[in-house]
Structure formats: C-alpha cells, structure tokens
Amino acid sequence: MHLFRPYLTYKSIKRIRQILSVFIKYGFYPLVEKTHLHSIISFTQRVIGRRKGGKEELSVAERFRLAFEELGPTFIKLGQILSTRPDMLPDDFIKEFLRLQDCVPPFAYNDVIKTIEDEFGKKTDALFTSIDKEPVAAASIAQVHQAITKDGKDVVIKVQRPNICENINLDISILKYMAIHIVKYMPESSIYDPVGLVDEFSKAILKEMDFTLEASYTEKIRGNFSGDERVVIPKVYWELTGKKIITMERVSGIKIDNTQKLASLGISAEKVALLVISLFFKQVFEHRLFHGDLHSGNIFVISEDKVAFVDFGIAGKVSKDMMNNLAAIFTGLIEQDLDKLIKIYTNMGLLGEDVDKDAFRTEYQDMLLHYFNRPFKFIRLGEVIRDYIRIASRYNIMVPRDLLLLNKCIFELEGLAKVLYPDIDILKEGQKFANDLIKRDVGLGAAAYDTIAAVNDYKDFIRVFPQQLNQIFRKMVQDKFTIDFMHKGLEDFIGEIDRSSNRITFGLMVSALIIGSSLVVAANIGPKVWGLPFLGMLGFTIASVLSLWLGILILRSGKF
C-alpha cells in the first residue's frame, strides 16, 4: 500500500500512464490490475480495460511485441535483451522479440547539425565538406547520414537522437518502479528477479548509448580480421567520433536477406551463407569476441566471396573455458557421446551443492537423446543451447551472460542461413573450427602455455597469501575483525513492518487532527460557520476524509 508517491515526479506519472495505456490497449488490463498499477490510470480507462481486451485475435507474444514497439527505444531494447533469455520466456516470445523493429521517423536535420557541433565544439563546415540531409537509416537511438570529410573521404555518421539519454533514464526509473510492484503483488515472479533484470538491462543499454564503446568494438574486430579478404569491417575515424557521434568509412553492399537481388547478380546464396557462418565461428573460436546483433540489417553482401559487418553496438566475449566447452559440444554432438556432453553441460554452470545431480543428469540425457535421433543437418545448435539454458535455470545453475547472447546470435544466424541455403549443416561448419581448436589445445605449445599460466597463478597466490593472513591476525588482535551477516528471506517481513508503521503513523496524525479540532470547537473561538468554529469544522472534515481513505486502502490490501 502506497499512501504517497513522492519518488514519482509529474513527468514520471505522465509517462507511466502512457505505458499502462498502451498495455491496456493490447489487452493486458488484468496484468496491470494484478500488479496494483491500475490506480495510476483514470477511472474511465479502468472501466474500458475491464470491459474489453485489445487485439485478441493476436497471440499474447505478438501483442507484447507490438506494445514494446509502440512504447519506443527503451522497450524495444528491453525486448531484444529478453530475446536472449530462453530460461525465462517460451519460444513464441523469443521469436516475437527477435522480430522487434525500430519504427520511428527520422529527426530533423537541424538537430543532427546541433548534436555534431555540441559534441565537437566546432561548426560542421570545419569538420565535413558535406552532410546529406536525408538519413540512409533511422532507428530509435540514432540515425545515419552519409557525408564527405574535409580530406575527401566517403563516410557515414551515426548521430544519437536528441534527449534520448534523458528519456531512457526516465523509462528505466519507471521500469524499476513497475518491477518492485510486480515482485510485491506477484510473488511467483521473484524467481526471475525482475528488479535485478531491470538493473542488468540498465547497465546494458547505457553502455550502448556510449558510441565510443561501439567504436572500440568496431576497431578491435576490424583488427582481428586484418588480412582476411573475405570480410569488410568499416574503419572508425576517431577524430570525428564521440559519445554521441561515430564516424566510419562508408560500406556499400546488398542486404543479406535480399535473395532476389543476389540471384539477379548471379551471387550464390549458398556460398554467402557458408561464408557468414564461417566468419561467425572464427569470431567465437579464434578471436573470442563476436558481433552481438547479427540481424539482416547488419550484414551486407559485397560479392560472393566477401561480406561486410556493421553496427557493433553489442558485442559478446567468449572466455577460454566457454570456448573449450563450445568446441567440446560440437564434437560431442557429432560423436553422440552422451557422457561427454553431460559432463560439459555440468561444467558450464556453477552447480550448487543442493542441486539434485542425478535428476539433472537424467533430464539432460532425455534432452540429448531427443537430438541424437535426427540427421545432423536437422539439429539446430541454437535449440540445443537453448534447452541447456532452460534446464540449467530449473536447477539454479548460473549461466554466463555472454552464453545467452551467443545463443541469440546463433538463432539469428540459423534463421538467416536457412533463408539463403535451406540444406546448410551449421553443426558441421562449426565442427571444423572446434576440431582446429582441440588440435591446438593438445599440442605441446598449448600445454606448455597452460602450465606456465598455472604456475603464475600459484606464484601470485604464494606471494600475497602471507600478507593477507598477517592482515587478518592484526585485525583480530586490534579487535577490528568484523563479520557481516546477510539476512535472506526477511525482505517481505521488513516491508510489512514498514507498511504497518506507515498506517500507525497515519492513524496517529488523523487522531491528533481530531483532538485538535475538538479543542478548537470546545474553545468556541475564531470565525464561525452555522454557529460552529470554522477551523474546528475544517479539521473534522479533513480527518474524516483521511480516515475514509485509510480505511479504503486497508480494505483493498485485504489485511485487516
């Protein structure tokens, strides 16, 4: 029960009403009501929401996607991140959220110029010879314009939308508020940690808002592919790049899913599909840094033997352990080695002591046998990893965040590859890189490197351990040794105490108002209305209204 909402500003309330109105429009009033957020919207909207749903001919997943698209950048990005969470969402939601598109008009050219000049503190004439007024692409966070630099280079400029950071920060604060309500009124949601999910999302989207980070990823991946004639990664012009602006060389090509254009130019879609899959696995198994947003708009075909990757706002990292585990999964699936795969899957997460390991192994065995009965070209690697993630979540196994992103990328690539070349065997293509990795790891050079690394780890431990032990003993001798206790499971209890104390305080305030008003009436002083002191009657009226309000809130809470 919230008596006051001081932390919700007028702007916040206006935006949250807009958000709730969109969800009601798409038939989610029961969800809004269940989370007790319906009190924020108007009485009329509540009545309309109860009487009819919206877009009921569509599936729940489709309605959520449409609502997210209508609500703009923050919710589009949230949906895209949720598409990496098969541990939380069923397949139909994953597929719909992968389809999320930015449906926004371009912003004014004058705002483009102002953003560039504010970022660099110079007039655009001093930076560029010309900038095209019409954008070549417009998305929810930024839009792209072609331009020519002062030294005659053809470039594209990615310019951040005006006020986008402020709008996203406002939405994040509202999402946090909504997440708290969801946990409070839908306790079953706590296993997904909605508040923690919003915090994680906040970090991810705010990182994406810093274009210098995207520029760094672009340059790093470009360096990784140095000398590889099969791929083009645009060069970043750092002197024309900042937090809100990124300037890169212009890359021309055909959008990878434009199969008609590819066919008209005599370009083999089969070769293109194999090339893109090969380049992706090279990023994973050799570079250990991969493009994290591989939808069709970010891959362009230059020729049958060359493609370009653009937009590195999202990138994933692969640890050495994860890389080795992925390589072992490929070989395990090809060899249909059940014990090997179960061992790998167990090692990929942090298996707690309280996990029923026998039940865990049995469930994985059933899942893997399901895949073993298919020809290899009908095994979708994305499905295998997705099922691992779902089973792992049921056993409270912590799945690495970058594995979730990797799984999303594999799903996207498998979808693209099937459009270009339906008979592609992605598992077979990945196995080539996996086998090369395994051969490198069993070589004498790799073994010597791992041994040296292990010795260095122990050397560091031996060096710092005496110092740390000495610090512990010194604190104990000086009575400065403290142990922090973390209380778990008391959050609801503490929250109930807070709510109860609020009710008591509110009741005391009402009581004080009644007593004070009674004294004023008894003293018979001050201006009078109908023969009674006005201030006393005003106090009684306010106390009556507040008492009625308190009573209604207590009755609505169901705790009386």
- Judge whether 93 lies within some domain: yes
The tokens describing 87, both together, are: 């541990």
Q: Specify whether 152 is located in the same domain as 226.
A: yes
Count Cβ neighbours within 10 Å for each residue of 469-490 and write b for 16 or more, e otherwise. eeeeeeeeeeeeeeeeeeeeee
Q: Kindly state the average pLDDT of the residues 115-119.
A: 96
One domain, residues 72 and 16: yes
Question: What is the structure's pLDDT at 456?
Answer: 47
Give the residue, 524 or 146, on which the prediction is more confident: 146
Same domain, 147 and 209: yes
pLDDT digits 0-9 by tens, 36-67 = 887 787 767 666 666 665 567 789 999 999 99
Q: What is the CATH number of the domain that holds 230?
A: 3.30.200
Does any domain span residue 311? no
Lowest mean pLDDT, pick from 40-54, 121-135, 169-183: 40-54
Cα 21 to Cα 113, 183, 195: the distances in Å are 35, 21, 22
- Asked if pLDDT for residue 265 goes beyond 90, the answer is yes
Bigger pLDDT: 8 or 302? 302
Q: Is the dihedral of CA 49, 52, 55, 60 positive or negative?
A: positive
Instruction: Give a yes or no: residue 111 inside a domain.
Output: yes
Question: Mean of the per-residue pLDDT values for the chain?
Answer: 81
CA-based R_g, the chain, Å: 30
State pLDDT tens for residues 547-558.
777 777 666 665
Q: Could you tell me if 57 and 131 lie in one domain? A: no
Between residues 406 and 275, the one the model is more confident about: 275
How far is residue 13's CA from residue 9's CA, in Å, rounded to a whole number?
A: 6
Give dist(CA 462, CA 471) in Å, integer: 15
Tell whether 73 and 117 lie within a shared domain.
Answer: no
Yes or no: say if 364 and 341 are a contact pair by the CB < 8 Å rule. Answer: yes
* Residues 45 and 188 occupy one common structural domain: yes
Looking at the fold, whether 173 and 48 belong to one and the same domain comes out as: yes
Average pLDDT over residues 379-391: 80
**Which is nearest to 216 in space by CA: 314, 128, 143?**
314
Higher local confidence (pLDDT), 55 or 232: 232
Q: Is residue 273 part of a domain?
A: no
**Res 6: pLDDT:** 42
Which residues span the domain enclosing 382? 323-445
In this prediction, residue 444 has a pLDDT band, given cuts at 50, 70 and 90, of very low
What pLDDT is attached to residue 446?
46
Quote the pLDDT of residue 475: 65
- What's the pLDDT tens digit per position in 318-356? 888 888 888 887 787 777 777 777 777 767 655 555 667
**Among residues 445, 470, 499, which one ends one of the domains?**
445
177 in a domain, yes or no? Answer: yes
Helix (H, G, I), strand (E, B) or coil at 6: coil
Cβ 384 vs Cβ 370: under 8 Å: no
201/175 same-domain check: no
The residue ranking higher by pLDDT, 326 or 311, is 311
Residue 434 is assigned to a structural domain of this protein: yes
Q: pLDDT tens-digit profile of 420-437? A: 988 887 877 887 887 787
Q: Which two structure tokens, joined as six digits, stand for 1?
A: 């029960």
- Of the two residues 468 and 404, the one the predictor is more confident about is 404
- What pLDDT does residue 449 have? 41
Q: Are residues 372 and 231 in the same domain?
A: no
In terms of pLDDT, which residue wins out, 248 or 514?
248
3-class DSSP state of 155: strand
Looking at the domain assignment, is residue 259 inside a domain? no
Residue 280 lies in a domain: no
Per-position DSSP letters for 11-52, written without gaps between them: HHHHHHHHHHHHHHHTT-HHHHHHTT-GGGS-HHHHHHHHH-
- pLDDT at position 172 is 94
Residue 502 sits in the same domain as residue 415: no
Number of domains present in the structure of the chain: 5
* Residue 48: per-residue pLDDT: 66
Asked if 15 and 109 sit in the same domain, the reply is no
pLDDT at 4: 39
Q: How confident is the model at residue 559 (pLDDT cuts 50, 70, 90)?
A: low
505 shares its domain with 462: no
Considering only 5-19, 29-43, 207-221, 228-242, which range has the smallest mean pLDDT? 5-19
Answer for the pair 305, 230: CB distance below 8 angstroms, yes or no: yes
- Contacts of residue 421, defined as CB under 8 A and 6 or more positions apart, other chains included, come to 269, 270, 273, 274
What dihedral angle (degrees, nearest 10) is formed by the CA atoms of 223, 228, 229, 232? -30
Higher-pLDDT residue of 185, 48: 185
HSE, CB side, 13 Å, CA atoms: give it for residue 347: 14
Predicted structure pTM score:
0.72
